[in-house]
């Protein structure tokens, strides 16, 4: 399975700041959270991808 670009997953530019990354993640997470979309495997997958992308991008050290 090919890895997606984490910036692309969150829909932000490569030079996006921490606040922009966080805002984009929260929007995607809210819209695709499994509690809001029961039985929607595509939404669950988007949520997981966004969470992984956010975890990697927020830890830039």
pLDDT in tens, 3-61: 789 999 999 999 999 999 999 999 999 999 999 999 999 999 999 999 999 999 998 65
Q: Is the pTM of this model over 0.85?
A: yes
Please check whether residue 25 is in contact with residue 50, taking contact to mean a CB–CB distance below 8 angstroms: yes
What confidence score (pLDDT) does residue 19 get?
Answer: 96
Structural domains of the chain, ranges and CATH numbers in brackets? 6-58 (1.10.287.110)
């Amino acid at each position: 399975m090919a890895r997606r670009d984490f910036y692309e997953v969150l829909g932000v530019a490569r030079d996006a700041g921490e606040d922009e990354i966080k805002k984009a993640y929260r929007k995607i997470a809210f819209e695709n959270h499994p509690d809001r979309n029961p039985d929607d495997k595509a939404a669950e997958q988007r949520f997981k991808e966004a969470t992984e992308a956010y975890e990697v991008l927020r830890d830039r050290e």
